[in-house]
Amino acid sequence: MDNNIIVTGLPRSGTTLTCHLLNRVPNTVALHEPMEVRKLAKYKKRSFACDHIEAFFDQMRASIRKRKKAISKQVNGKVPDNPVAGTYSVSGLRASIASHTEIPIGKTLEANFALIVKHPSAFTALLEALVERFPVYAVIRNPLSVLTSWNSVEFPVQSGHAPAAENLDIHLKDALAKIDDRIERQLYLLSWFFKQYHQFLSHDTVIYYEDIVSSGGNALKVIVPGANMLNEKLENRNRNNLYDTQVMRSLGERLLKTDGAYWNFYSKESIEEFLNNKTSCEGRTSP
């Protein structure tokens, strides 16, 4: 079914914001990491994992039609624009404020409503199989801002790991296990995400966070045409005032010395200009 839509993307790239915005679009429901993705690793064939995901879509459609409820990570009963706290905890990192439960679906929906399910790491690992079964879109963001965000949150990416992806991709798990330096693991992982999108997605199904923000959400019309009505006032958080500027500069210097797959989407020049406070890093490589 073309109205069962997969959204993935880099952790901390705006995938939750994407779901939040899409829930404002008529005849559309977007769920924020609703599945227990660890269960996908039990399947020996990727096609069986896709069967499991398709069955979940069917389950959620039935629940929404009959009970007006669906499973999602949520804050106050809704998919938030950002699932992470705006302050640092005693650990020195920002914690998730979202919980996993049922949420009410109160909007009027037609029988063929668009249902979006979003998971960043697990769906990126399954990308090659997913594109054969579903419409798939990925959200990406300035790699330096992503790295800086990773270093500010109490998520596995802060230590250079993505368990949901590693459970599904043994090569990724083995490669990360061999890297002792935490930032080097992050850089390897960051490149792995971008490599997956470059290899398995077409240019028009990769959505830039910067475009989502500058268009007020209108850029999401590639996922559901009804998003062309979005005109929200959004703030570009590539220079989030919660980010440590010295950490960002140090990460930027290391990033620019690498040859990761992120350079297929963003130019080194745009990162250099961003570090020098000349742009908000909306520059990218040509398709």
**pLDDT tens digits, one per residue of 118-163:** 999 999 999 999 999 999 999 999 999 999 999 999 999 999 999 9
Residue 67: its pLDDT value, please? Answer: 97
Residue 283: its pLDDT value, please? Answer: 53
Does 1 have pLDDT greater than 80?
A: no
Count of domains observed in the chain: 1
Does 116 have pLDDT greater than 60?
A: yes
Does 248 have pLDDT greater than 90?
A: yes
Domain ranges, residue 192 = 4-275
What percentage of the chain reaches a pLDDT higher than 90? Answer: 91
pLDDT band for position 217 (cuts 50, 70, 90)? very high
Where residue 24 sits, what CATH number does that domain have?
Answer: 3.40.50
Residue 96: its pLDDT value, please? Answer: 93
Residue 267 lies in a domain: yes
Residue 38 lies in a domain: yes
Q: What is the pTM of this model?
A: 0.95
Residue 281 lies in a domain: no
Residues facing residue 103 across a β-bridge: 70
Residue 283 lies in a domain: no
- Residues 29-47 have pLDDT tens digits of 999 999 999 999 999 999 9
Residue 287: its pLDDT value, please? Answer: 47
Residue 167: its pLDDT value, please? Answer: 97
Residue 285 lies in a domain: no
Residue 280 lies in a domain: no
Residue 25: its pLDDT value, please? Answer: 98
Residue 169 lies in a domain: yes
